[in-house]
Amino acid sequence: MKLTNGMILAAGFGKRMMPITSKIPKPLIKIGQTTLLENCILRLKDFGIEEIVINTHYLSSKIENYINNKNFNLNINIFKEKNILDTGGGILNATKKFNNDPFIVLNPDTIWNTKHVKEFESLAKIYFDKKNPALLLVNKNKSYDKNFKGDFNINYKGVISRNKPNQMIYTGAQILDRTIFKNLNIKPFSMNKIWDQLIIKNSLVGFESDQEFLHVNSREIYNKLIKEKFIY
C-alpha cells in the first residue's frame, strides 16, 4: 500500500532560536539555499506524498504567504491553531480530512536529506507489516548535537520501549493513522502521551536511521551547522 498523505508540524514558537525567530517562524529559517520547511516538503514529495497539511500558530501568516508564493505542485493545506495544541492535538486537528488513512508526520527542524527518503520507505513497510504506529529513530551517537539524551530503545523485532539508559533519539518522522486518537477531543496534548500508551501494549514500532542526526534545536547549533556543514 502506498502513502499519499503527509503532515508537517510548524506551529511552535522557536524560543531557543531567538532573536532569529522574533520576525520569522522557525520553519522559514534557511539552511544552505533553502528553508527548513521547503526541505521538508521536497523530501515528502520525493517520498510520493501528494497531499500535505501544515499546522501553524506563531507567525502563521508568514508561512501561509510562503506556501502561496511557491509552486510545489502538491495539494498543501494550512491549519491555523487559534491556541497552540502541542504535537498530539495539532496532529489530531489537522489530519481530519485523512479519515483513517495512514499518513507520515515530519518535524521541519530536522534536516532531512534524500537518503532519508529510503528510510521513510522502510518505516512505511514496518507500519504496514506490523499494523502499528512507527517512529524513525537514530542512535544518539549519530547526533550532531552531543547533548541529546536518548528517548527510546528498540529491539530486534522493531518494538520500541523506554528502558533507561535509552540509546535512541526520535528523529521527527512517524507514520500513523487517526485510530490511535480514538475517543480523544481536540485539545493540547503531546504525542508522548500516545506513545507511552502504545509502549505499554508493545504496539509502538520503529526503524533505525543510518543518517547523521542534524537537528536545528538552538541558535548555537544552527550557527555551528551553518559554519561546519555543507548540506546542500
The label of the residue with cell 502513502 reads 3
Confidence of residue 150 (pLDDT cuts 50, 70, 90): very high
pLDDT of 88 above 50 = yes
* Other beta carbons within 10 Å of 104: 26
Element (H, E) at 41: helix 36-46
Range of the domain at 212: 5-228
pLDDT of 230 above 60 = no
pLDDT of 153 above 50 = yes
- C-alpha of 21 from chain center: 19
Confidence of residue 32 (pLDDT cuts 50, 70, 90): confident
**Whole-number Å distance between alpha carbons of 218 and 197:** 30
pLDDT of 232 above 50 = no
The mean pLDDT of 102-114, rounded to a whole number, is: 97
Confidence of residue 42 (pLDDT cuts 50, 70, 90): very high
pLDDT the model gives residue 228: 82
Amino acid letter, 213: F
Q: How far is CA 90 from CA 8, 205, 226, in A?
A: 10, 22, 30
Percent of the chain surpassing pLDDT 70? 98
pLDDT the model gives residue 207: 98
- Please name every residue paired with 137 in a beta bridge, in sequence order, or none if there are none: 170, 208
**Whole-number Å distance between alpha carbons of 107 and 12:** 11
Q: How many domains does the chain have?
A: 1
Confidence of residue 1 (pLDDT cuts 50, 70, 90): confident
pLDDT the model gives residue 201: 96
Averaged confidence pLDDT in the chain: 94
CATH of the domain at 162: 3.90.550.10
Set of cell numbers at residue 86:
502541542
| pTM: predicted TM-score of the whole model, two decimal places | 0.95
Nearest to 54 by CA among 62, 63, 45: 63
pLDDT of 186 above 50 = yes
Confidence of residue 7 (pLDDT cuts 50, 70, 90): very high
pLDDT the model gives residue 96: 92
Confidence of residue 183 (pLDDT cuts 50, 70, 90): confident
